[in-house]
Amino acid sequence: MSERIDRRNILELTGRTALVTGAGQGVGAETARYLAAQGANVVINDYVAERAEAVVAEIVDAGGHAVAAPADITDFQLVADLVASTSAELGPIDVLVNNAGNAGADPDALTGKPFWEKDPAEWEPFLQVNLYGALNCSRAVIPGMIAAGNGGRLITVISDAGRVGESGLEAYSAAKAGAAGLTRALARSLGRYDITANNVAIAATRTPAITAMTDNEDYAKKVLRNYVIRRFGEPSDPAALITFLASGASGWITGQTYPVNGGFSVNQ
C-alpha cells in the first residue's frame, strides 16, 4: 500500500475497501466516517442492523461510499459469509478494523462483582467479542488480502485495560491482551505479504458505552484525575490514528501498540 503515497495527502484511501466492526456507533462509527472521508469504500458491520444502516446513510449523504454488513462477529460462519459477500461486491478487504468490543452483545455483563465471585460463564461475553471477534475477522479477511497481493492493514482496537490491567474488568483485560497478542503474531506471519498489524489502545472515550460515567459529573471528575489531559477521549481521537495506520503512509509500522489515552498511562 506504500507505492501510492501522495505527499499532499498521505492518508488517501481511494479504491481501498475497509471493514470496520461494531461501526454502528462510537469509535467504530467515527472511524468509518474518517476512512470514508479519505475515499475508502467502507463496510459497516454491527450486530444492530439499524445502527449500521444509519451510519451508511450518513456517509453516503456526505458523498462517500459505504455498505451495511450486519452480523454478530462472534460467529465465525457469519463473518466468513459477510467477507465473501462484501468482497464479491467491492473487491477484497484491504483494511480490517477490529473495533467491536466492550461487553459485546450483553450490556448486563458488567455486574460489579469481584472476579473471584464470578461464574466462568460471566467471562464469555468479553472473551467472545474482544478476542474471538478479532480472531474470526482476521481469519476471514487474510486469505483475500494475500490473494489480492496489494498488502493490507489489520488494526485492532484494544484498551489500556489490556496493557496495564483494570480492576473489575479482569476478563475484558485478558481478552484485550489476547487480541493484542494475536496482532503481534499476525504482524510476524504477514510481513512478507506487506500486510501490517497494529493495536490502538484507548482509554475512557466518550461513546454510548460509557455514558453512565461521562454523564455523572462527580464520578467523571474523579476518573479524570488519572488523565494528564483532563478530558474524556472523543471518538475522533482514535479514529485519526486508525486512519493513519490504515493508510499507505504507515507501511513500515507493524506489530506495535499505540495508546490514545490522554496520558492515562505513560510509557517509554
Q: Rounded to the nearest whole angstrom, what is the least distance from the CB of residue 143 to ligand NAD in the complex?
A: 21
Is the CB of residue 28 less than 8 Å from the CB of residue 22? yes
CA distance 205 to 202: 7
Nearest Cα residue to 154 out of 2, 21, 12: 21
If the CB atoms of residues 57 and 147 are measured against ligand NAD, the closer one turns out to be 57
- Cα 234 versus chain centre, distance: 14
If the CB atoms of residues 12 and 166 are measured against ligand NAD, the closer one turns out to be 166
Secondary structure letter of residue 87 according to DSSP? H
If the CB atoms of residues 123 and 193 are measured against ligand NAD, the closer one turns out to be 123
If the CB atoms of residues 210 and 253 are measured against ligand NAD, the closer one turns out to be 210
Secondary structure letter of residue 62 according to DSSP? T
Give the cell for residue 96: 480490517
Is the CB of residue 11 less than 8 Å from the CB of residue 35? no
Is the CB of residue 83 less than 8 Å from the CB of residue 138? no
Q: Rounded to the nearest whole angstrom, what is the least distance from the CB of residue 4 to ligand NAD in the complex?
A: 28
Catalytic residue among 34, 47, 172, 258: 172
Residues at the contact surface with ligand NAD, assessed by CB under 6 A: 21-22, 24-28, 45-48, 51, 72-74, 99-102, 104-105, 129, 133, 157, 159, 202-205, 207-210
CA distance 137 to 139: 5
Q: Rounded to the nearest whole angstrom, what is the least distance from the CB of residue 104 to ligand NAD in the complex?
A: 4
Q: Rounded to the nearest whole angstrom, what is the least distance from the CB of residue 147 to ligand NAD in the complex?
A: 25
User: Is 172 tagged catalytic?
Assistant: yes
List the catalytic residues: 172
